[in-house]
Amino acid sequence: MEQFEALEQIHTPIWIYDFDQQSIFWANSAALLLWEAETLTELLNRDLKTGMSQAVKTTLDTYRKQFELGECFRKWWNITPKQIHKRVLCDFSGVELEEGRLAMLVHALSEESYLRSNLAFSDGSNLSLLFDQSGYLLSANDAFQQFYPIALTHLSTLTGSPQRADKWLTEAQVRGEVEKETNLTINDQSYNFRIIANWVKNKNQLLLQLTDISQQKKQILAAQFEANHDCLTELYNRRGLLTQANSWTQTQHSFHLVFIDLDGFKMINDTYGHGQGDTLLIAVARRLQQSLPEALALARFGGDEFVALLPVQESLCEKLANINQLLRAPYQLRSGITVSVNASLGSTTFNSQEPLPVETLIQYAGYAMHKAKKQGKNRYQVFTSDLAQAISRKSQIRHYLSTALESDQFSLHYQPIFCCQSGKLYGAEALLRWHDDTLGNIPPAEFIPIAEDSGQIVALGDWVIQHALEQLSQWQIRDDQEFVVSINVSRIQLHSGFSTRLAQLIERYQVKPSQIAIELTESCMVYKMEEVKQWLSELSQIGVKIYLDDFGTGYSSLSVLQQLPIDVVKLDKSFVQSSQEGGLAIIQATAAICEKLGLAVVAEGIEEEYQKELLCQNNYSYLQGYLFSRPIPAKQFSQRYLL
């Protein structure tokens, strides 16, 4: 026994089982505890023979054969020392005793009671059943009888049919050992087992060693479901949809991918709380499921974004309009709350002849959806080659824009603004110009939104202010001349440090604050109103003017006018240029409101003499437009207007 003394150092139970004596040959101290033994002698003398089922005996025989082949394995093992049932995860291997006989070394890794919560399988493993060659049960071990109390006399009761039982018997007989995972119904309950079937040749018996993996299977299925589904709506999540869509690209000639985004969902979330928001999202998911029974897959990508894969259909536009209409119908949330939401939809089509990766399809459908949203929400948009071109142009601009500032590709043009009554120059609007050698002249309406998107507008905007102020400082303006340079500022530039920076630059270029105006659009004002109010009053305190640009195109115009320190309102050019009655009504209404509030009004976009007449009649203070001059370089501007 000396040869095993080293094993005494190990703190987990180890013992050696003597196949021939059918008793324990040696055990370390930890094993004594596991076996409920007071002393080693007591354990070694313990009778394990009596009461050992034939199934266990045969199992041990197969282990012995495996050890002879040099194999070792890990299994759950049941022991019942002193009537205490224990399940232990053990490593089994063969070990040679001094006299050359083969014994079994068992190393208990852990008792199930410790592991139960961590391990996938909690039911039986190392269940053994022994059948004769005709399939009649010879023996079942205790564990099997304990966990699966069925009247089992023949293999067919287990397999469900005599044919299947025959198949198992033949298979094992022919192949010696068969390993399989299978579903068995025991007492009307369904279980998943991993089964190793051994044919005991010399006795013509079938030994089944079963491990119940039902829990494990269930957990795997649950984990798979969770990984691929959105837990709120139980639709697929992004990952699940990608898997589905990828598999459809293999089997379908074509299909549509529709991106659906709710308009104004954030407001519902903010107003009624996230709980009600969730209720709404679930209701939207159910409506989609009901109305799109033909859908190949439905998913929620998080937030209020849904994606549907639809079989290809000629009436796609009709379908998209239908989805839109269906989602628009009111939703009943918590009792008494009824809300309505609109949706914007974008779609693209997979075509096996020109297969695009699913990620790209999602991106395209997303672009189309954004376009629908931009066009006024509650719409659908099919992804077209025009849109593809626009996207590639946009990404090209984004790319070139990133180096344009350091390559000094920008300049400022100035467009004069005149006083309506006197006809004299009142000021100029500084407008940014970009020339790139490859792309040519890119209009600001095209690159400013991209710069805003990428955040580059902050640096670019600062450049604009510096150059406008520098220019202003160089122009010789008479002391008695009123002259205001107005500078466009994006919402993103406006933050708590903005007025300090502006004051710094005013100081650096030694210009009069009263000669500077900041043009902001209405959309700057509505979001985070309180903060904006604070920043604007800081600007007023410096002494710069504030112009409200593109008036009439945004929302909540009137309240903005009343609450913020605005000096001048610039009516959007679309009204000046509108030939419709509505345009005239707005021209007149804006004049009336501004007069009441004591604000000056600039009319932009005047191209025709009659427009000028009309605006002067309506008491507009200042006029700007191509009729007087296009935006021109600084030098030209000063030659024309300042000398």
Q: Footprint of Ca ion on this chain (CB under 5 A)?
A: 488, 519, 549-550
Residue 583 found at the interface with ligand C2E (CB under 6 A): no
| 172 vs 448 by CB, closer to ligand C2E | 448
> Which among Ca ion, ligand C2E, none contacts residue 631 (Cβ within 5 to 8 A by kind)?
ligand C2E
Residue 549 found at the interface with ligand C2E (CB under 6 A): yes
Q: How far is the CB of 543 from ligand C2E (least distance, A)?
A: 21
Question: On the CB side of 31, how many CA atoms lie within 13 Å of its CA?
Answer: 25
Residue 552 found at the interface with ligand C2E (CB under 6 A): no
Q: Which of 320, 511, 631, 638 binds ligand C2E (CB under 6 A)?
A: 631
8 vs 27: CA distance, rounded Å: 8
Q: Select the span of 72-80, 82-90, 329-337, 604-612 touching ligand C2E (CB under 6 A).
A: 604-612
Tokens of 484: 């205001």
Residue 235 found at the interface with ligand C2E (CB under 6 A): no
| 552 vs 625 by CB, closer to ligand C2E | 625
| 459 vs 597 by CB, closer to ligand C2E | 459
CB 525 within 8 A of CB 560: yes
Q: How far is the CB of 597 from ligand C2E (least distance, A)?
A: 21
Q: Select the span of 60-68, 149-157, 444-452, 537-545 touching ligand C2E (CB under 6 A).
A: 444-452
Q: How far is the CB of 225 from ligand C2E (least distance, A)?
A: 48
Q: Select the span of 160-168, 235-243, 469-477, 602-610 touching ligand C2E (CB under 6 A).
A: 602-610
> Which among Ca ion, ligand C2E, none contacts residue 235 (Cβ within 5 to 8 A by kind)?
none
> Which among ligand C2E, Ca ion, none contacts residue 107 (Cβ within 5 to 8 A by kind)?
none
DSSP string, 327-395: HHS-EE-STT-EE--EEEEEEEEEETTS---HHHHHHHHHHHHHHHHHTTSS-EEE--HHHHHHHHHHH
486 closest CA partner among 409, 431, 435: 431
Q: How far is the CB of 472 from Ca ion (least distance, A)?
A: 17
> Which among Ca ion, ligand C2E, none contacts residue 432 (Cβ within 5 to 8 A by kind)?
ligand C2E
For the chain, the 3-state helix, strand and coil shares in percent, each to the nearest 5, are 45, 25, 30
As a whole number of Å, the CA-based R_g of the chain is 41
Tokens of 507: 């100081």
CA distance to 87, 116, 142, 404, 616, per residue, from 113 (Å) = 8, 5, 18, 68, 91
Q: How far is the CB of 291 from ligand C2E (least distance, A)?
A: 41
> Which among ligand C2E, Ca ion, none contacts residue 626 (Cβ within 5 to 8 A by kind)?
ligand C2E
Burial category of 444 from C-beta neighbours within 10 Å (exposed 0-12, middle 13-18, buried 19 and up): middle
Tokens of 571: 């009516």
Residue 427 found at the interface with ligand C2E (CB under 6 A): no
CB 448 within 8 A of CB 490: yes
55 vs 440: CA distance, rounded Å: 87
> Which among ligand C2E, Ca ion, none contacts residue 415 (Cβ within 5 to 8 A by kind)?
ligand C2E
Q: Which of 135, 240, 366, 605 binds ligand C2E (CB under 6 A)?
A: 605
> Which among Ca ion, ligand C2E, none contacts residue 605 (Cβ within 5 to 8 A by kind)?
ligand C2E
510 vs 533: CA distance, rounded Å: 27
| 341 vs 546 by CB, closer to ligand C2E | 546
513 vs 503: CA distance, rounded Å: 8
Q: How far is the CB of 433 from ligand C2E (least distance, A)?
A: 8
Amino acid identity of 444? P
189 closest CA partner among 164, 169, 214, 167: 214
Q: Which of 66, 72, 607, 618 binds ligand C2E (CB under 6 A)?
A: 607
Q: How far is the CB of 537 from ligand C2E (least distance, A)?
A: 21
CA distance to 11, 216, 219, per residue, from 222 (Å) = 37, 10, 5
Q: Which of 431, 494, 569, 634 binds ligand C2E (CB under 6 A)?
A: 431
| 89 vs 432 by CB, closer to ligand C2E | 432
CA-CA-CA-CA torsion for 606, 611, 613, 617, nearest 10 degrees? Answer: -100
For residue 262, what is the enclosing H or E element? strand 254-263
The pattern of x and - marking residues 381 through 420 that bind ligand C2E according to CB under 6 A reads ----------------------------------x-----
Residue 625 found at the interface with ligand C2E (CB under 6 A): yes
Tokens of 170: 């033949």
The pattern of x and - marking residues 474 through 513 that bind ligand C2E according to CB under 6 A reads --------------xxx-----------------------
CA 323 to chain centre: 23
DSSP string, 573-615: HHHHH--SHHHHHHHHHHHHHHHHHT-EEEE----SHHHHHHH
Residue 471 found at the interface with ligand C2E (CB under 6 A): no
518 closest CA partner among 561, 568, 583, 559: 568
Residue 305 found at the interface with ligand C2E (CB under 6 A): no
Q: Which of 212, 550, 551, 552 binds ligand C2E (CB under 6 A)?
A: 550
Q: How far is the CB of 622 from ligand C2E (least distance, A)?
A: 13
Question: On the CB side of 495, how many CA atoms lie within 13 Å of its CA?
Answer: 7
Residue 626 found at the interface with ligand C2E (CB under 6 A): yes
> Which among ligand C2E, Ca ion, none contacts residue 89 (Cβ within 5 to 8 A by kind)?
none
| 464 vs 506 by CB, closer to Ca ion | 464
CA distance to 228, 259, 311, per residue, from 251 (Å) = 20, 22, 12
Residues that bind ligand C2E (CB under 6 A): 415, 431-432, 443-445, 448, 461, 464, 488-490, 519, 549-550, 573, 604-607, 624-626, 631
